[in-house]
Amino acid sequence: MKKVAIFIPAYNVSSTIPLVIDRIPKEIKSEVKEIFVIDNASSDSTYLTVIGYKHDRDMQNLSIIRNKENKGYGGSQKAAYNYSIKKGYDIILMLHGDAQYAPEYIPKILEPLEKDEADMVFGSRMRGHPLKGGMPVWKYFGNRTLTIIENFLLDLSLSEYHSGFRAFSVRALKKIPFGLCSNDYHFDTDILIQFKIAGFRIKETTIPTHYGKDSKSPSVLHLFSYAWNILISLFMYILYKKNIIKNDKFNFKVKD
């Protein structure tokens, strides 16, 4: 049986993280080697909430790591994946702490990795009914537009690139320089490009969309910045591919 860990990136989610952990299917909660939270220097009581939850539920496989300073969304992922490599896990799944993604779908995300049918799997809202799930219309069309551009430039056929509900083969993570990816939100795009370059298998599964009052939805300004940074990463990849520039983030050989 493969050793699975669940990573929960957390920033000011004291009100939602107990619910998120509660909703992880019972069999998953008991079978995974570790559920670890990385508190990204929250200003609320996220850290103490998780400590209390662990004590109250007597969850021996729940742990929390607290960043002394905010390392960014991508920075937390880097720490989590390095931690998973160090611990010798086979699969690492990321589940956001703000209840934006449904923990009940964890088995669907894990299945292709457990069967060795994929190296990365993520839940796609765009394969379902995102508008019915509360996704704002302008976010929907922004997601669709960026996805069309990304599919064209990367020669892929994914339904979206912007879901944070993801799982990776740790063996695959060992073979790419994900430490060179962004510390910001477009880490998700950078690592997808690296998986594309490495020729790894990427699969999607349909998940519901949920935009609740506690979901950590970025501002319009942050979304424009996010989109702009994605376009820059894609542009740098194309320049690298055409041998116009050198870029260590994309210029690598898959490690044996």
DSSP 217: P
- Coil, strand or helix at 62: strand
| Structural domain includes residue 251 | no
Q: Name which of 161, 179, 188, 173 is nearest 73 in CA terms.
A: 188
Q: Are 37 and 49 in contact (CB under 8 A)?
A: no
pTM of the model: 0.93
pLDDT digits (tens, 9 = 90+) for 221-254: 788 899 999 999 999 999 999 999 999 999 998 8
Structure tokens at 80: 């989590």
| Structural domain includes residue 189 | yes
pLDDT category at 106 given cuts 50, 70, 90 is very high
DSSP 111: H
| Structural domain includes residue 113 | yes
Q: Are 7 and 38 in contact (CB under 8 A)?
A: yes
Number of domains in the chain: 1
Which pLDDT belongs to residue 54? 98
Among 125-139, 149-163, 241-255, the range scoring the smallest mean pLDDT is 125-139
β-pairing verdict for 202-206 and 120-124: parallel
pLDDT category at 209 given cuts 50, 70, 90 is confident
Q: Does the pLDDT at position 218 exceed 90?
A: no
39 - beta bridge partners?
Answer: 10, 66
- Coil, strand or helix at 65: strand
Which pLDDT belongs to residue 6? 98
Range of the domain at 18: 4-241
| Structural domain includes residue 27 | yes
Q: Are 225 and 141 in contact (CB under 8 A)?
A: no
Report the alpha-carbon distance of residue 43 to residue 249 in Å, rounded.
32
Q: Which helix (H) or strand (E) holds 173?
A: helix 170-173
Q: Using DSSP, how many helices (H) and how many strands (E) does the chain show? A: 9, 7
Which strands, in side-by-side order, build the sheet including 91-94? 62-66, 34-39, 4-10, 91-94, 166-169, 120-124, 202-206
Total residue length of the chain: 256
pLDDT digits (tens, 9 = 90+) for 47-88: 999 999 999 999 999 999 999 999 999 999 999 999 999 999
| Structural domain includes residue 248 | no
Q: Does the pLDDT at position 215 exceed 60?
A: no
Q: Higher pLDDT residue, 129 or 71?
A: 71
| Structural domain includes residue 191 | yes
Read off the CATH number of the domain in which 122 is found.
Answer: 3.90.550.10
Query: 165's torsion region: left (phi>0), alpha (psi -120 to 50) or beta?
Result: beta
| Structural domain includes residue 41 | yes
The arithmetic mean of pLDDT across residues 34-45, rounded, is 97
| Structural domain includes residue 256 | no
Q: Name which of 136, 129, 128, 125 is nearest 161 in CA terms.
A: 125
Q: Which helix (H) or strand (E) holds 83?
A: helix 72-87
